Amino acid sequence: MAQPIYEWRLPAREWREQDLFNLPEDGNRYEIIDGSLHVTPPPGFGHQELADELRAALRAATPTGWRVIRGAGLRAAGSNLIPDVTVLKPTAPADGTWIEAADVALVVEVESPSSRRHDRFTKPALYAEVGIPAYWRVERGDFGPVIYRYELVKGVHYNLIGTVGPDDPVQINQPWPMPLDPSAWPR
């Protein structure tokens, strides 16, 4: 069966959140960064499995009222982003598509070749600008995943507070006390 053809209609202004609802549900990830539309292909199976493992590890230690969501929409500094994993504070709305940054304690991005630059530079800057307290970036390496853990400093940028690899499980305290051991996660 032939795929339906989608006719792109560029807005006569910057892209806005409402424009996302008019795009096809074709598996691509559509995000708006500073008024520009960014399209990335669907993440691969390994990427999705790794994000699921991170979510499971966070959820296993989640205090009452906190939630760990995959693929939630996040409003950030005139942008609409979709982190791989988002930790919501107990004050966050019970349901919805887009979340406000004030309701987020941590965002996690799992790098893919198509997202590497945004995950290392663009997205952390936007997350810091809106005051998200913690950011994790996960690289998939030959020996297993490595988690780069960052905390917000002075409300303007992130400082690296540590890395966790497959050979160095640790006990962490952010966003809550929990063990973090990526040794059994997919590469």
> Topology of domain 43-184, per CATH?
tt1808, chain A (3.90.1570)
Q: What does the domain layout of the chain look like in residue ranges?
A: 43-184
**Distance from chain centroid for Cα 41:** 15
pLDDT of residue 9 exceeding 80: no
Ranges of beta strands (E only) in the chain are 29-33, 36-40, 67-70, 73-76, 79-81, 85-88, 98-100, 104-110, 134-141, 144-153, 157-164, 170-172, 178-180
Q: pLDDT band for 4, please (50, 70, 90 cuts).
A: low
The residue assigned the tokens 């560029």 is 10
Lowest-confidence region among 20-24, 81-85, 128-132, 183-187: 183-187
pLDDT of residue 73 exceeding 80: yes
Q: What is the pLDDT of residues 128-143, one digit of tens each?
A: 999 999 999 999 888 8
Q: What is the pLDDT of residues 150-172, one digit of tens each?
A: 999 998 899 999 999 998 889 99
